[in-house]
Structure 1
Amino acid sequence: MTSIQKKVLLFLFLFLYSFPSSSEALPSVTADAVILIDADTGEILYERASMEPRPPASTTKIVTAILGYEMGDPEEETIVSQRAGTTGEASIHLFPGEKVTLGDLLTGALIRSGNDACVAIAEHLAGSEEFFTLWMTTKARLLGARSSQFYNPHGLPHKKHHSSAYDLAVIAYYAIQNPSFAATVKQKYGHLDHREGWPREIRSTNRLLWNYPYADGIKTGTTRAAGACLVASATKEDRHLIAVVLHSDDRVGDTMRLFEYGFALEAGK
């Protein structure tokens, strides 16, 4: 290689690396499937594998809550069935025969991710989990979430139960328009004031609420198959964003980086 060729190569190297590549400007995200949308316009600001069907874990409960708020009265009282009271994993510790209002069930499902609360909601509104899940899938499809299929109201593993990052963003965009839903998911602590059992104060599973000042919801989810998931909302001044991360190694950090990226983009428009 001649000295002139070496100088040309050195010039090209310095020229190319004096500017940041477009990939360097993108958020560093560990999740397998990601989407970030402008919640006012619906514009997709960033995505990766967002249409891929994946297990959604407890982010499923967003759909359960939508139906609960739209089809029931929070003051309605129901009696917890044996099936609901013995549903495993995440729980608000309902017991069979306990009387509880639909409003407390919705709070318990969204804030503490109570699987037992979700079964009680389904049975109260539809008579059975099985029939309720038909409503869930139908509602999701009507909203434009066409990859989603629900076989339970809580998101515990089922081989045919799936959604996608895109679908969950569409569902969250719709859900957050409901004032009761929005008021519930932004709470760090919730109160179950009309139940007979314990606990009456519950703490949100969404650590983003403590770690990001603009966060105002929405729902976590975790199973072995789904990994750590988060559907999140954040509002800064007059800008509102929704982010979804599925199977993440750092769901809070991923989501914060997505929001910071999105708000910087929006500010530059």
Structure 2
Amino acid sequence: MRARLCVWVLLLCLPIAAGPTSVWAAEDGLAPSSKSAVLVDADTGTVLYEKNSREKLPPASITKIMTMLLVMEALEKGQISYEDRVRTSEYASSMGGSQIFLETGEVMKLEDLLKAVAVGSANDASVALAEHLAGTEERFVEMMNRRAEELGMKDTRFQNPNGLPASDHYSTARDIAIMSRELLKHREITRFTKTYEDYLRKESKKPFWLVNTNKLVKFYEGLDGLKTGFTREAGFCLAATAKRRDLRAIAVVMGEPDVKARNREITRMLDFAFNQYANRVIYKPGQLIGKLQVDKGEKSMIEVRSPQQFSVLMKKGENADDYRTKIRWEKLKAPVRKGQLLGAVEVEKDGKTVSRMELVSAREIPKAGMWTILKRTARKLFFIPDETPAADPGT
């Protein structure tokens, strides 16, 4: 039986790590009431509009985007599961503000706690999740700040997992857009954030009614998240995302005077994105990109597939034929390290690269043993097919 290897690779769109890239449009008046705002294409990270987007401000409950991101990443790694039974500490039950009124010692499924955070913005549920993941809130906050640094959120500092007022707890509209893009890689999260209403403790005599703090999930076409925020210090804040056809946009406002202004300006920003821009999809999730030969590897072939959508942002009316896609492969020799560069996808227009995506290995490929190399040599001598032909490096 012929040896084959299908290695899923992590595709990193360069703007993800460094944050949103260049501004394509600076329209006046999209968010006049806000202290700070930004509008971003979720796929490419291109900024479509910004206003004071690097100003450090209290993010209130938008903080919970990072909390949800760490939960989703732990779920993906298998460190926790939706079925985990999470016990509420006395400290978690003492949180004020938005809450589901957890009692000390109460046990709730992790999935329900995540729902409480995503839909009801529950401060007590946020701390319960933080303690479940990290043991203590303090250690979880360290994880939050470390992850923010990894994502290139240079103007953010967290002091708690829920956004309750705290000294030296701040972020920016741009940084919020960065962590929102990262959270949206976990497509399962919108199952929670798009929910308008649901119930917790359904089996009890008094089920708890959850209503989404983001009313736009019910009233704006395609809107399925992400997180509201409000404190007296922060004002009314919202990181919203909506998808129509192949374009997903992220709009962030901070320091709005009231809910009406917040929703009105988010709506205006999203309308601008969908009216002016479109995405040309280059690769869909799971689509085959190419195959690479691994010289002297334990497995001699890597099949490269896209785990997420990669696209090019265009102004409506532009000619898609003006864009050209190239794939540049690296020559691989075992051992291959996890995270090693395999190649890159580049999209060019008028001879200039307008979008680039690096391809890196998601796992190790050890060097083949002598017996494996001898068998391969024998196959070649006797013209016995071994592997599907690999992509031509350098194309």
- TM bin, normalised by shorter chain, reads 0.7 to 0.9
Which amino acid in structure 2 is aligned with residue 263 of structure 1?
F
The 2-side partners of 1:29 and 1:43 are apart by: 21
Deviation at 1:28, TM superposition (A): 4.6
Q: In 2 relative to 1, CA 147–58 (structure 1 residues): closer, same or farther, beyond 3 Å?
A: same
User: Match for 1:254 among 240, 243, 265?
Assistant: 265
- Shift of the 198–33 alpha-carbon distance from structure 1 to 2, 3 Å rule, reads farther
Q: RMSD of the TM alignment (CA)?
A: 1.9
SS in 1 for 2:55: coil
Q: What is the deviation of 1:23? A: 8.0
Aligned to 1:228: 236
Question: Matches of 2:205 and 2:64 in 1, distance apart?
Answer: 22
**Would you say the 8 A contact 1:99–1:196 is kept in 2?**
no
CA contact (8 A) 2:57 2:234 kept: yes
Report the equivalent of 2:32: 29
- 8 A Cα contact 1:104 1:195, kept in partner: no
TM-fit CA distance, 1:180: 2.2
Q: CA deviation at 1:252?
A: 0.5
TM-score norm. by structure 2 comes to 0.60
When normalised by structure 1's length, the TM-score is 0.87
Identity rate, percent: 38
Paired residue for 1:219, among 205, 227, 232? 227
- Partners of 1:24 and 1:70 lie apart in 2 by 36
> Kindly tell me: are residues 242 and 126 of structure 1, through their superposed partners in 2, closer, same or farther at Cα, counting changes over 3 Å?
same
Partner residue in 1 for 2:70 = 67
More strand by share: 2
Distance 1:165 1:25, change over 3 A: closer
Shift of 1:194: 7.6
Note closer, same or farther for the CA distance 1:39–1:215 as it changes in structure 2 (3 Å cut).
same
**Greater than 6 Å deviation, 4+ residue runs:** 22-25, 194-197
Aligned to 2:190: 182
CA contact (8 A) 1:234 1:259 kept: yes
More helix by share: 1
Counterparts in 2 of 1:24 and 1:42: CA distance versus 1, 3 Å: closer
- CA shift, 1:195, in A, is 8.0
Deviation (angstroms), 1:101? 1.3
1:57–1:223 CA contact under 8 A, matched in 2? yes
Q: Deviations over 1:126-178 (max 9, x none)?
A: 11111110001111111121211111000001120111100000000110110
| Gap regions ≥5 residues in structure 2 | 1-24, 75-79, 279-315, 319-395
Q: CA deviation at 1:198?
A: 5.0
The higher radius of gyration belongs to: 2
Q: Tell me which residue corresponds to 1:52.
A: 55
